[in-house]
Structure 1
Amino acid sequence: MTETAAAQQRGVRLPRTERRAQLLAAAQRVFSANGYHAAAMDEIAEQAGVSKPVLYQHFPGKLDLYTALLENHVDELVARVNEALASTTDNKLRVRAAVGAFFDFVASETGAFRMIFESDLRGEPVVQEAVDRATTECVNAITDTITADAGLDEGRARLLAVGLVGLSQVSARFWLAHHSTMSREEAVSLTATLAWRGIGGGFPLQHTPGEPA
């Protein structure tokens, strides 16, 4: 944001929800560039084009701002995974969609995934709780699907779900960091094929989609 644009925004009163979204967007840019410890509230306020008192009216401290942003990202990731699981009743396509949800989240230009998977603030209980929720809610959603469709008990289904979540997020991050020449589609296909041959080959669908379980 230019100094002129920032100065113009300082004189504009926005509805609280819009101002909050503006502040979170500015904070995302600063946290992504600098990490938590090196980020400064002064810089976030400047990026948002507001005064520090306005920033503190919405977020009493840097940790409050970071946590609010992190919770938004967790909600986004969980929503992506749930949408992927609900997108089809074909389990092979469902696995691919779930894997793709992690790749899309990691590839987002905001760099939101770093706050969940690479946070430099894991020692803070409130941050660790949010990070844990991201994994837990994704695992829960996949567990429910595997239990319903593969006829496994909850414990075995959960272990498979943990494996799929771990495989997906680690593979996505590795692809982003090391394979700039490999397309997202090829990377998702390779990862989903590995996952499907394990889940689909060993635990076939127990009933036809659309029929009572």
Structure 2
Amino acid sequence: MSPEVKDGRSTRWDDHRDARRTELVEAAVAAIDEHGPGASIAEIASSAGVSKPVLYRYFGDKDDLYRAVGRWGADQVLERLIPILVASEDLSLRDRVYAGCDAYLAFLEEHPQVFLLLVEHRTTDDPLADGKEQIASTVAKLMGDTLRRLDVDAAGAEPWAHGLIGMFLSVGEWYLRRDIMSRDATSTYLASFVWHAFDGFASDHGAALDRAGELRVLKPRRKDAR
């Protein structure tokens, strides 16, 4: 067998395996939606229409499966947020922040059991680790680009993005568990925290944003200005 044929078959197998893993993750999400955070591997396998041994051919153990579910959740969040934060040219920056917070909570409402499973399963092998890093990296880039457009030092974008991830996880868990506030009110409070933090950071570094939330600098002033 020539190396080229072997490589081609290997690539096709990798593609098939990735596609099958995606199908099994989606089945796991459906099972968790139905049975809650305590969904067993047997229930997940049944939802996928396979046996537990077949499920474990694609995932090393339960933690591996939960990590894959965590990455699925991160992908879903980013698919909803990126068009709002980047492509919504008809919205001001402030309105985009508010719309993004609402979209995040809307996703949690669609899959509350999946979110609760992931936050409950955070041991030394955090199933959210990959997803958090993926979201934080994307948010940090967006924030860094925005700060540079304001002619503001963007060095704080990465730690700030990681801080936002922690706040969003905490508020999301509170929102689902307590169930004492509407989504509209919760997203408004969350967006207000985010927006005023951003606005204050820009102001501290010599820039001011339009009160309507438009992305332009009013009376820019460098920190070293006299």
Structures share a fold, TM > 0.5? yes
One of 99, 120, 129 as aligned partner of 2:101 = 99
**Superposed counterparts of 1:50-199, under 5 Å:** 50-89=50-89, 90-109=92-111, 111-116=113-118, 118-124=119-125, 127=127, 129-134=129-134, 136-180=136-180, 182-199=181-198
CA RMSD of aligned residues (A): 3.5
Q: What's the offset of the Cα at 1:96?
A: 1.0
Alignment length (residue pairs): 190
Q: Give the residue type in structure 2 aligned to 1:58.
A: Y
**Structure 1: runs of 5 or more not aligned:** 1-14
TM normalised by structure 1 equals 0.67
For the 8 Å contact 1:70–1:115, the answer to whether it is kept is: no
For the 8 Å contact 1:147–1:154, the answer to whether it is kept is: yes
SS at match of 2:156: helix
CA 1:184–1:74 in 2, change beyond 3 Å: closer, same or farther? Answer: same
Q: Name the counterpart of 1:23.
A: 24
Q: What's the offset of the Cα at 1:71?
A: 1.8
CA 1:154–1:62 in 2, change beyond 3 Å: closer, same or farther? Answer: same
For the 8 Å contact 2:137–2:161, the answer to whether it is kept is: no
Which structure has the bigger radius of gyration?
A: 2
Q: What's the offset of the Cα at 1:86?
A: 0.9
Percentage of matched positions with identical amino acids: 26
* Distance in 2 (alpha carbons) for counterparts of 1:160 and 1:199: 10
Q: What's the offset of the Cα at 1:92?
A: 0.9
Q: Give the residue type in structure 2 aligned to 1:190.
A: Y
CA 1:17–1:205 in 2, change beyond 3 Å: closer, same or farther? Answer: same
